[in-house]
Structure 1
Amino acid sequence: MVERGTPLSDSPLEPSVKKKSGTEAFLKKWGIPIALIVGLILYFMPTPAGMTVPGQRALGIFTATLILWVAGSLPIYLTSMVATVLLSVTGTFKEEEALGMLGNDVIWLMVSAFILTSAMIKSNLARRFALWMITAFGKTPKRTLLVLVALNFILAFFVPSTTARATLMVPICMILLEVYRAVPGESNLGRIMMLQGVQADALATSGVMTATSGNIIAVGFINEQAGGSISYMTWLLASMPTAIITMLLTFLIGLKLFSFKGEAAFEGVMSTLKEELVKLGRFSVIEKKALGIFLLTVVLWATGDYHKSWFGFEIDVFMTAIIAAILCLMPKVGLLTWKEANIKWDLMIFAAGAYAVGNALEKSKGAEWVIKSVVKGLGLEHMSHVWVYVLVVFISMYSHLIFTSKTVRVTILIPAFIALAKSLGMDPVALALASAMTLTYTITLPPHSKVNTIYFATGYFSVLDQAKYAVVTCFIGATLISLAIFTWFKVLGI
């Protein structure tokens, strides 16, 4: 019997330490003085025509904060704390509003998501399910690849962390490839399996609102600033079809790019995986508890639109997650202690500060002024709305080439595009939702996400392998999302 929570492989992978490029080293060294200079210039310059004084102050604080987030000169949570203080002491944002962001419903959802992730990992339920799926349905290499892709999409509903899902999936892929005698750097089966793991993780995350904190933060902006009512099911119905179609198309393209015909026969793999499944032992009490809690959670998330008629009251996404977290932590009923709940409080504080500076810029009309200036400067006010939609989607899709943090990109782009839509008389909900659907496609280079780094550390693919596959996938994804705005979104009433 293997110990609960231990990896399937005898040698668990640790992400390699990435050496900083010259640009990254420069930004980290000079980020603080650059942020100070730019922030002070924006804060004290003569107030431009059409901009309010609070808007100018908010712009200065937001820009300085943004520079520090990107440069990494300070930890992102510390930058958010500094920003929160500056918003308050300068009178840019009321103190109770700035501090109150830590009590935002999105923060509660993120806390609950981390508790659910910890419970899923401790229970071993996801690992058991993954092994069962592969041994039951993965009879050939291509079918095994499809099963692995399907597993990533299924786990996105249960494990609201991209890194956690990668941590679950990579050891299973390693077992497959080790038994298959695939040589890292030489085996095309190894290349495609690991690269499709990266892409399936990202695309599945795009399809499920609760699959990453970035999606949750984006929904918070859309519902609060754009007047939307995006629910769990709305996001799922809008985004999952494009994610699945993109994955299927790129799956077929990947088989052409990295053909593994002629490699050794796919024999002996199933018996080894079945042995790993046997090592997990009988279905334990802790797994039964986890299964019950997660099934209840998914049912409540999926049926949110019917709660009012069924119960006479509504249990929204946030309350459902908190209920699930309570059940996970409840003595005798649950399966976790508070100490075992791996809650990333630094991310909570970062998100609270991000909301504070974003909302300050929005409420002070600073964002609106900036967007109007950009619109006027680029001539976007004369551009067809169709092309504005498409341009925004492609900008969002490839923005990860500049910003490696999904959360930072959400904080920067979603409020900006909401303001852009309002200034052009477009639907801000549709534009912001389409943009948000692209923000998980962080798949081009290893440093663009922790998931990339974990898979890249296996040594089965090169930087060039990942880049050329990702260019195709991102283009297909952006194109399909652009088309969905004018077709599928209309069907859904978005």
Structure 2
Amino acid sequence: MSNNLIKGLVTILIGIAIWFIPVPEGLTPQAWHLFALMVAIIIGFILQPVPVGAVAFIGITAIVLTDTLKLSEALSGFSSGAIWLIVAAFLFARGFIKTGLGRRIAYMILKAIGDSTLKVGYALALSDLILAPATPSSAARAGGIIFPIARSLASALDSEPGPTSRKAGAYFLQVIYQTESVVCAMFLTAMAEHRALSIMVPDMLTLVPGGK
């Protein structure tokens, strides 16, 4: 039996077990069943028997098919413009990396001020500061502009997740994260929900020493 199949069965069995536990006093059966499904979805995100996106779609499908929520209620979160802004920033960031544009910009930065990682860190922080007043979303700014460049800079310096993360990548991403927190507080026009940093956190954790 494959490892992913075992993870999938564990996820499903935990959800079913919670589903059939007697409903606690003060909760409706619908609320308890929704809780059971959400616990299963979260465990699916952690164990990842299939990609995270697939877990989300399977979870939404299960919620609708079990009549826990109506289809319009299950999909109501996707009507938020902020959600699609984050998705767009993520796609933009991926395009930056896949097309090589981020790497080209990284080489230009290294050519101009790349004699030390400290200066590159300052350049990333200054770029975020300049963009902040005119970019009213940390998703668009950090996730879609600054992060792809920093990620490409780390790759150009042979700093990848794992043993080489301390060479440069961990430092660059720590600089971005800390700078983003500061500039979001400096300008009212710079923050459209700081949750946007969730775009870069998974990759950041693989580069920061001790991250998992």
Q: Deviations over 1:126-173 (max 9, x none)?
A: 844x5555455455xxxx121122244356665625873354203442
**Is contact 1:165-1:201 (8 Å) kept?**
no
Structure-1 separation of matches of 2:95 and 2:5 = 39
Name the SS of the counterpart of 2:69 in structure 1: coil
Cα displacement (A) at 1:191: 7.5
1:148 aligns with 2:91: no
Q: TM-score, normalised by structure 2?
A: 0.66
Aligned to 1:173: 157
Q: TM-score, normalised by structure 1?
A: 0.32
**Is contact 1:206-1:441 (8 Å) kept?**
no
Over the residues paired in the alignment, what is the CA RMSD in angstroms? 4.3
Structure-2 separation of matches of 1:32 and 1:192 = 34
1:237 aligns with 2:185: yes
Change (3 A) 1:440 1:49: same
Superposed, 1:184-263 pairs within 5 Å as 192-194=166-168, 197-205=169-177, 207-208=179-180, 236-237=184-185
Superposed, 1:479-490 pairs within 5 Å as none
Superposed, 1:445-456 pairs within 5 Å as 449-450=202-203
Superposed, 1:85-96 pairs within 5 Å as 85-96=61-72
Aligned to 1:99: 75
Superposed, 1:275-354 pairs within 5 Å as 304=189, 317=192
Aligned to 1:345: none
Structure-2 separation of matches of 1:191 and 1:119 = 23
Cα displacement (A) at 1:70: 1.3
Structure-1 separation of matches of 2:70 and 2:171 = 42
Change (3 A) 1:34 1:145: same
Identity %: 15
Report the number of matched residues: 194
**Is contact 1:35-1:67 (8 Å) kept?**
yes
Tell me, which stretches of 5 or more residues in structure 1 are unaligned?
1-24, 178-184, 210-233, 239-301, 306-315, 319-432, 443-448, 457-465, 471-494
Structure-1 separation of matches of 2:103 and 2:50 = 36
Structure-1 separation of matches of 2:156 and 2:199 = 23
Q: Which amino acid aligns with 1:160?
A: G
Change (3 A) 1:54 1:155: farther
Aligned to 1:262: none
Structure-1 separation of matches of 2:87 and 2:8 = 30
Cα displacement (A) at 1:82: 2.0
Tell me, which stretches of 5 or more residues in structure 2 are unaligned?
132-140
Q: Which has the higher contact order (CA 8 A, sep 6+)?
A: 1
Q: Deviations over 1:209-265 (max 9, x none)?
A: 8xxxxxxxxxxxxxxxxxxxxxxxx97117xxxxxxxxxxxxxxxxxxxxxxxxxxx
1:160 aligns with 2:143: yes
Superposed, 1:321-400 pairs within 5 Å as none
Q: Deviations over 1:42-80 (max 9, x none)?
A: 112211122222221111101111122211112222221
1:42 aligns with 2:18: yes
Q: Deviations over 1:80-108 (max 9, x none)?
A: 12221222233322321212333321232
Larger of the two Rg values belongs to structure: 1
Name the SS of the counterpart of 1:208 in structure 2: helix
Q: Which amino acid aligns with 2:54?
A: L
